[in-house]
Amino acid sequence: MAVLLVGSTILLRFAYLRPPGMTWLDALYFSTETIATVGYGDFSFAHQPTWLRVFSISLMFAGVTLTAILVAFLADLLLSRRFTRSAGRMRVRHLRNHVIVVGLGSFGIRVVRDLTAAGYDVAVIELDENSRYLPSAAELDVPVIFGDATLPQTLESACVAHARAVAVLTQDDMVNVEAGIVLREMLGGLKAKGRDVPLVLRVYDRTLGSAVAQRFGFESVRSTVELAAPWFIGAAMGLQVLGTFSVGQSSFMVGGMQVGAGSELDGLPMYELSTDTRVIAITRADEPVTLHPRREARLRAGDTVYLVGPYRELLATLRKGQPVQQRAVGGLPEAATG
SS3 for 293? coil
Tell me the per-residue pLDDT of 97-106, one tens digit each, with 9 for 90 and over. Answer: 999 999 999 9
> Within 13 Å, how many C-alpha atoms sit on residue 318's CB side?
32
* pLDDT at residue number 98: 95
Give burial (CB, 10 Å; 0-12/13-18/19+) of 188.
exposed
- List the end-to-end C-alpha distance of the chain, in Å, as a whole number: 68
Whole-number Å distance between alpha carbons of 25 and 313: 83
Whether the CB-CB separation of 258 and 304 falls below 8 Å is answered with yes
pLDDT tens across 237-279, in order? 777 888 888 776 678 889 888 888 888 888 999 888 888 888 9
Cβ burial of 117 (10 Å; 0-12, 13-18, 19+) is exposed
- The residue ranges of every structural domain in the chain are 2-86, 93-218, 226-337
Is the CATH number of domain 226-337 3.30.70.1450? Answer: yes
| CB atoms closer than 10 angstroms to residue 25 | 10
How far is it, in rounded angstroms, from Cα 174 to Cα 170? 9
pLDDT of residue 192: 63
Whole-angstrom distance, CA of residue 208 vs CA of residue 11: 71
Q: How distant is the alpha carbon of residue 333 from its chain centre?
A: 35
DSSP 163-214: -SEEEE--S-HHHHHHHHHHHHHHHHHHHHTT----EEEEES-HHHHHHHHH
pLDDT mean for each 10 residues of the chain (338 residues): 75 70 72 65 63 71 80 76 68 91 94 94 93 93 93 93 93 93 86 80 84 83 80 77 80 87 88 87 88 88 90 83 61 43
User: What pTM was estimated for this model as a whole?
Assistant: 0.60
> In angstroms, rounded to a whole number, what is the distance separating the alpha carbons of residues 117 and 199?
21
What's the CATH architecture for 2-86? Answer: Orthogonal Bundle (1.10)
Give the CA radius of gyration of the chain.
35
pLDDT reported for residue 104: 93
DSSP 44-112: -STTS-HHHHHHHHHHHHHHHHHHHHHHHHHHHHHHHHHHHHHHHHHHHTT--S-EEEE--SHHHHHHH
CATH topology classification for 93-218: Rossmann fold (3.40.50)
**Structure confidence at residue 187 (pLDDT):** 87
Mean pLDDT of the chain: 81
Quick count: other Cβ atoms within 10 Å of Cβ 218? 19
Residue 197 phi, psi dihedral angles, 5° rounding: -105, 110
- Kindly report the length of the chain: 338
User: What Å distances lie between residue 47 and 16, 32, 44, CA to CA?
Assistant: 10, 20, 7
Give the whole-angstrom CA distance, residue 86 versus residue 108: 22
